[in-house]
Chain A
């Protein structure tokens, strides 16, 4: 699903690399936590997977494709198979919940009939059935994140990227979001989630990849947030 081969990334005008010589593989259907302190390279890792950035050295394969060899005009096609969720939700405030989800389908040219069918379906899945016509501003943070997840999942991506999806939420709401991501994972979607949330990582007992100053320092199946000393 994702393969990094000796990947390094140096941003222009910076001497310290954001990633150094990272190699790893994420299999289909896995649930992976990406942990590490701020500046450890988590965001760079995700940006490379989304091909928002290109590597300085090494190769990134996503869904079997070498991203370095993927021409620019094919990138959108690749991104349609990925879903993305962020800490700050990134909903459109002037569109209703239903329109926000539908937006992800409209802009890739899905038919009206298809949209009308899949939007209520995915809203049911995230536990927001019947709230289609609400505005994002009327919803709680947890509900807004559910809308964002619905939008990321409505095109049935093979891989879901979540960048600190619980970063703005209280612990109880976070548990709800994690249950939802777990359910999505069980449908066969690979989930890669960057997080700072120790409790969640410790509870879920999933694979943990830890980055520190751009290096891969730990890759542990059924891991916890930090080393236990």
Chain B
């Protein structure tokens, strides 16, 4: 009885304020889609950064057997144990070096697998094709050149790479876009909340007869408020579902088809469907709870109990 009664009240309320409900759904959907999008962007950036990006500044890649055949820097053959020890000792003596981590080819293989997973390139790779390397953290990241000049061209060293140099600008851009998305989201969220408060006010006003009688015959305040809160929650949940659809469709058209970035930028490992799916419960939960809470607080003002 109770449930059926409440459900029919909600239906009536939502239909009575159809335009307002629609506005709530759209604004909730947009703000949640932006929220989910910015979460996914962060995922994308951390996927691209790989294992070492945030941990070190400079990588010294050492020659392995296959480099010895193909790379002119490694013309003298794969790196030897003495060479490795010498490099390590020299690094230890340098003022700018904070920390040195040795990565074996097995570890390199593992980290590569983690980042690129099942891509065709990763599948054809074997551990002994991976290079050994020294990963170096500097006291001052700007001093990359000191290490580069010291080790470039040394026997057994294939190359010295500034870890951040290549991707820093891209990440800066993505980061900026992320903040912009969050700012727009915050704005949309405020709009959504104000719409919900207003919807609740109109709804409470148009049902003041019913609520007045409910009060007089002793309905609990929970029972009086429930239809209003549920109304907001249902509208919010619909908005949440729309946001989820936008995220899924967005990933599909940006990465797989349409823009098809996965084909155009095939060196970049893109986030998978699992990353998108993992965000959906959060988006739905916020879509449900945030409008319900907003309605709850609005009711304290507009509905006397």
Contacts and interface: CB of A to CB of B under 8 A. Distances in A.
A79 B217 contact: yes
B173 interface: no
A12 interface: no
A112 B215 contact: no
Contacts of A107: 5, 213-214, 217, 219, 223-224
B218 A76 contact: yes
Contacts of A108: 217-220, 223
Nearest to B4: A112
Contact of A109 (B209, B213, B223, B305): B223
Contacts of B5: 106-107
A125 to B, nearest CB: 17
A112 B1 CA distance: 6
A83 B215 CA distance: 11
A155 interface: yes
Interface in A69-118: 72-73, 75-84, 90, 92, 103-104, 106-112, 115
B230 to A, nearest CB: 15
A74 to B, nearest CB: 10
Nearest to B207: A92
A79 B1 contact: no
B216 interface: yes
Interface in B194-242: 209-210, 212-221, 223-224
Contacts of B210: 92, 103
A79 B218 CA distance: 5
Contacts of B220: 73, 76, 108
A178 interface: no
Contacts of A106: 1-2, 5
A1 interface: no
Nearest to A80: B218
A75 B221 CA distance: 10
Given A90-B209, A109-B223, A78 B218 contact: yes
B28 to A, nearest CB: 29
Interface of B is mostly: helix
Given A92-B209, A106-B5, A112-B1, A50 B223 contact: no
| Category for how many chain B residues contact A | 10 to 19
A111 B1 contact: yes
A111 B5 CA distance: 12
Nearest to B210: A92
Given A106-B5, A109-B2, A109-B223, A79 B216 contact: yes
Contacts of A103: 210, 213, 217
A168 to B, nearest CB: 17
A115 B220 CA distance: 18
A152 B212 CA distance: 13
Contacts of B2: 106, 109
Contact of B217 (A72, A75, A80, A115): A80
Among A79, A80, A107, the one with the most B-chain Cβ atoms within 10 Å of its Cβ is A107
Nearest to B211: A107
B219 A76 contact: yes
A35 to B, nearest CB: 23
Contacts of A109: 1-2, 223
A73 B221 contact: yes
Contacts of A77: 218
A79 to B, nearest CB: 4
A173 to B, nearest CB: 23
Given A72-B221, A76-B219, A80-B217, 10 more contacts: A79-B215, A84-B216, A92-B209, A92-B210, A103-B213, A106-B5, A107-B214, A108-B217, A111-B1, A112-B1
Interface of B: 1-2, 5, 209-210, 212-221, 223-224, 305
**Which 4 residue pairs across A and B have the least CB separation, nearest first?**
A80-B218, A79-B218, A107-B219, A104-B217
16 contacts: A72-B221, A73-B220, A76-B215, A76-B220, A76-B221, A79-B217, A84-B216, A84-B217, A103-B210, A104-B213, A106-B5, A107-B5, A107-B224, A109-B1, A109-B2, A110-B1
